[in-house]
Structure 1
Amino acid sequence: MPAAIFVVSYLLGSVVMGILYSRARGDDIRSRDLPGGSGTFRQYGRQAAVMVSVLDILKGVVATLLARWLAQGLAPEWTWLAVLGVVLGHCYPVFFRFKGGGGIAPFVGALLPVAPLTILGTIGLALALVPVYKATLQKALKLNAIPFVTAVSLPVGWWLSTRFGGSWEFLAGSAVMLVRAVHLLVRPEGDGAGKA
């Protein structure tokens, strides 16, 4: 059962909506940017970004709800495997040569049913940090906002998870996102990958 939860979640995560949207337009966003919400916004505008983000969040929600259904209440702790799988699939999708997004939207979606206070608190902090960072430190550090905000907000999110639940789920998803952020810093994908 745990292997099935991980594999199904990974395959679900590998359906990267930004890539599918760009291909429907006869393009591949990854040649210029990352296929998440912010990259889609930069390349195709607000409406496309909202649609892609909502769909990527929904696949995270589906992954954890499916894990709960597959376990039928016998092992709720297996939801961390669903979070791990869906975020890993989004970042390194088997259907798209293992070149995907940063994992934020499916991570948010996967934690919403499991630990809503934890993920909403983390998102709130991240959203507050982005404009402050861009206005103060970005020019000096020459580091895009997403990895910086991730590095600052994830430890706070971890602390929130110890208070409001979802510790294992938070740890699983954030570990994949941190690996992906480091990977993107070392080897950026697409000309616009560092613009966020």
Structure 2
Amino acid sequence: MPALTVTVVAYLLGSLVCGVLYSRWRGADIRDHDLPGGSGTYRQYGRGAAILVTAGDILKGLLAGLLCRWAAPDAGWLVTGAVVAGHCYPVFFGFRGGGGIAPLLGALLALAPLTLLGLLATALTVIPVYRATLQRRVNLNAVPFAALIAVPVGLLLATRFGGWGALLAGGAVMALRSAHLLLRPGVGRA
């Protein structure tokens, strides 16, 4: 299976945004009030829904990463960028999606698990410190802020443990989406 085919499949998998699917199942569209990721789903529907949506979004990244390892092992960066781009700009939902963190985590779980472990450790250290010190002044959700710190640390880890290209491609798409969201006041800020 050529890398291009795997990349297209990864984008289509990414375009299945679980928060949008869940909210539509509940009779609404979460994007009218919040972002369709785990944090937005938590704010709109509660903890159980957020866990379900986050797990689904991680799973699609994991599936894309596993497909890449099996069919196009040299295209990890391209496939990761595609699954994250699909989540951020989903073809099935008018190119209005989420931030891309969960599918990036899933893809890294398949392609670079040690790098992912370092990323998660960094984020889990940054989040409580940020919430206690800066969140009220910056007025940005803790998860995207932690990602801004964790991704550069992850890049350093990736030079030793692999996944550099995947992390860079996924992080670049997420940064583009974050910049786009910052230009839309009131959406994705909490």
Q: TM-score, normalised by structure 2?
A: 0.94
Worse-superposed segment, 10-19 or 126-135: 126-135
Q: Which residue number in structure 2 is paired with residue 64 of structure 1?
A: 65
In the alignment, is the contact (CA less than 8 A) between 1:5 and 1:81 conserved in 2? no
Instruction: Indicate yes or no: 2:111 matched with 1:114.
Output: yes
What code does the residue aligned with 1:51 have? L
In the alignment, is the contact (CA less than 8 A) between 2:181 and 2:187 conserved in 1? no
Q: Which residue number in structure 1 is paired with residue 189 of structure 2?
A: 194
Please list every run of 5 or more consecutive structure 2 residues that lacks an aligned counterpart in the other structure: none
Worse-superposed segment, 136-145 or 150-159: 136-145
Q: Which residue number in structure 2 is paired with residue 16 of structure 1?
A: 17
CA drift at 1:70: 2.3
The equivalences for 1:15-164 within 5 A come to 15-71=16-72, 76-164=73-161
RMSD after superposition: 1.3
Query: Matches of 1:47 and 1:192 in 2, distance apart?
Result: 22
In the alignment, is the contact (CA less than 8 A) between 2:139 and 2:189 conserved in 1? no
Q: Which residue number in structure 2 is paired with residue 182 of structure 1?
A: 179
Name the CA shift for 1:8/1:70 in 2 (closer, same or farther; >3 Å): same
Query: Matches of 1:173 and 1:146 in 2, distance apart?
Result: 15
What code does the residue aligned with 2:162 have? G
CA drift at 1:139: 2.3
Query: Matches of 1:33 and 1:127 in 2, distance apart?
Result: 23
In the alignment, is the contact (CA less than 8 A) between 2:60 and 2:103 conserved in 1? yes
What code does the residue aligned with 1:193 have? G
Query: Matches of 1:103 and 1:117 in 2, distance apart?
Result: 20
Query: Matches of 2:81 and 2:42 in 1, distance apart?
Result: 26
Q: TM-score, normalised by structure 1?
A: 0.92
What code does the residue aligned with 1:162 have? T
* CA-to-aligned-CA distance 1:18-48 (integer Å, 9 cap, x gap): 0000000001000111000111111111111
Query: Matches of 2:69 and 2:117 in 1, distance apart?
Result: 21
Question: Which portions of structure 1, spanning 4 or more consecutive aligned residues, are displaced by more than 3 angstroms?
Answer: none
Worse-superposed segment, 47-56 or 142-151: 142-151
Q: Secondary structure at the match of 1:112?
A: helix
What code does the residue aligned with 2:136 have? K
Between the aligned residues of both structures, percent identity stands at: 59
What code does the residue aligned with 2:56 have? L
Worse-superposed segment, 178-187 or 91-100: 178-187
Instruction: Indicate yes or no: 2:175 matched with 1:171.
Output: no
In the alignment, is the contact (CA less than 8 A) between 2:69 and 2:111 conserved in 1? no
